[in-house]
Amino acid sequence: MSSSLAVRDIDPLLKDLKEKKQSFGRNVVSLAAELKEVRSRLASQEQSFVKENLTRTQKIWDEVGEPDVERDQTIIGD
């Protein structure tokens, strides 16, 4: 009789463990999807930053003239 009692005690534990395992699996899937979305947003923000930086750099060059590397090296003395 004590062995059947142990089986009855173990069965709810196994059921609980199975439910926790399923919940953990769902959480992993959810976190993976969230990570993918965040990576995508970060890549988009990075592209926007690069475009903005290039636009600002071009505006500065338009205002003061593009750098003349050969002239600058002559001035520096290289």
Please report the DSSP string for 7-32 in residue order.
Answer: HHHHHHHHHHHHHHHHHHHHHHHHHH
Q: Per the confidence metrics, is the pTM higher than 0.85?
A: no
- Domain containing 58 equals 2-76
Integer distance in angstroms from the first to the last C-alpha of the chain? 95
Domain count for the chain, please give it.
1
Structure tokens at 21: 């395992």
| Per-residue pLDDT tens over the stretch 10-67 | 888 899 999 999 999 999 999 999 999 999 999 999 999 999 999 999 998 888 887 7
Measuring CA to CA, how many Å separate 10 from each of 1, 7, 22, 49, 54?
Answer: 14, 5, 18, 57, 65
